[in-house]
């Protein structure tokens, strides 16, 4: 074998080893990226209309303080806004906070001790932000005041806009009795039948009032009604509505209080 042939074979072998190492490292990097915790985008619309009594408001505050706030973690964003007749014309958030992302770690490149320090610092910041939100809660609910009308459809159109730019997991919470009373709709005055429900859904679809909420995990709490029958009919309407919007609303997440929180991994997956 000539020296030239030997050198060529050694060069090819070296390139192959480097290519294999690069592929393995790339796989590690891709794996690290794919398991990165991007957090949750939690959008909460709260009903402050006259139909929401003191008991419902107390339940809402309880759900915030004891269920939602403790669950907030690195990478999460929480936005709270009122359900009212001005959602599309003069939208304003009552609360909008974003938690710093959890530090990423790659065992091939990062120092373990430094990563642990960064992780502890991130956890401290998350603790501080949770306490800040908890302290703001009474003022936030008081600042919202009350609204004359319950225009849930506009809130859902706004939710679609808010979710459009996010890479986080999309979670929508509606804290409302779910009784729309914004012209031309008055849910408490409708004589509900299967035909009427389908007629109303078709009308809303035609008007563009059923947004595409694909990939959104939906919760509804603070549900009330004058009678069990009205509650059942309105619940059935919203189940069909969210089916048409391609959102994920399981009947177990439509209740008087916030149930089954936080969401399971397969919600809207």
Q: What is the CATH number of the domain that holds 113?
A: 3.40.50
Between the alpha carbon of residue 35 and those of residues 100, 104, 125, 197, 206, the distances in Å are 17, 9, 22, 43, 41
Q: Do 79 and 7 belong to one domain?
A: no
For 13, the domain range is 1-35
Shortest CA distance to 64 belongs to which of 134, 127, 143? 134
pLDDT of res. 63:
96
Element (H, E) at 27: helix 3-34
User: C-alpha angle with apex 37: 30 to 268, nearest 5 degrees?
Assistant: 100
Percent of the chain whose pLDDT exceeds 70:
82
Q: Do 64 and 160 belong to one domain?
A: yes
Q: Does residue 269 lie within any of the structural domains?
A: no
CA 122 – CA 145 distance, rounded (Å): 34
Q: Do 192 and 65 belong to one domain?
A: yes
pLDDT of res. 232:
96
pLDDT of res. 262:
96
Q: Do 125 and 226 belong to one domain?
A: yes
Q: Do 122 and 2 belong to one domain?
A: no
pTM for this predicted structure: 0.84
Quickly count: other Cβ atoms within 10 Å of residue 110's Cβ: 14
Q: Does residue 138 lie within any of the structural domains?
A: yes
SS3 of 259, please?
Answer: coil
Q: Does residue 261 lie within any of the structural domains?
A: no
pLDDT of res. 111:
67
pLDDT of res. 106:
66
Q: Do 26 and 139 belong to one domain?
A: no
SS3 of 43, please?
Answer: strand
pLDDT of res. 76:
97
Q: Do 27 and 113 belong to one domain?
A: no
Q: Do 125 and 225 belong to one domain?
A: yes
Q: Do 46 and 171 belong to one domain?
A: yes
- Is the CB of residue 217 less than 8 Å from the CB of residue 248? yes
Query: Which stretches of the chain score pLDDT less than 70?
Result: 1-37, 53, 105-111, 115, 145
Q: Does residue 266 lie within any of the structural domains?
A: no
Shortest CA distance to 46 belongs to which of 94, 89, 82, 85? 82
pLDDT of res. 110:
63
Q: Give me the number of domains the chain comprises.
A: 2
pLDDT of res. 204:
98
CA 173 – CA 133 distance, rounded (Å): 17
């Amino acid at each position: 074998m000539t020296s030239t042939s030997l050198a060529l074979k050694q060069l090819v072998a070296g390139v192959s080893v480097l290519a294999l190492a690069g592929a393995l490292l790339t796989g590690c990097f891709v794996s690290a990226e794919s398991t990165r915790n991007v957090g949750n985008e939690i959008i909460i619309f709260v009903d402050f209309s006259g139909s929401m009594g003191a008991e419902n408001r107390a339940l809402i505050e309880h759900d915030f303080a004891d269920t939602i706030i403790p669950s907030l973690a690195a990478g999460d964003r929480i936005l709270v806004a009122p359900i009212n007749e001005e959602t599309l014309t003069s939208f304003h958030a009552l609360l909008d906070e974003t938690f710093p992302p959890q530090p990423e770690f790659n065992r091939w490149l990062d120092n373990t001790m430094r990563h642990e320090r960064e992780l502890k610092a991130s956890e401290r910041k998350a603790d501080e932000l949770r306490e800040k939100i908890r302290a703001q809660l009474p003022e936030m609910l008081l600042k919202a005041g009350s609204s004359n009308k319950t225009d849930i459809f506009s809130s859902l159109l706004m939710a679609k806009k808010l979710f459009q730019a996010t890479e986080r997991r999309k979670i929508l919470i509606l804290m409302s009795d779910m009784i729309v009373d914004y012209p031309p709709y008055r849910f408490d005055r409708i004589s509900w039948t299967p035909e009427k429900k389908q007629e109303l859904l078709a009308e809303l679809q035609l008007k563009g009032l059923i947004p595409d909420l694909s990939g959104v995990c939906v919760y509804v709490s603070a549900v009330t009604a004058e009678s069990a029958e009205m509650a059942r009919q309105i619940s059935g309407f919203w189940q069909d509505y969210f089916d048409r919007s391609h959102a994920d609303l399981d009947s177990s997440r439509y209740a008087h209080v916030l149930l089954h929180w936080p969401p399971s991994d397969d919600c809207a997956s």
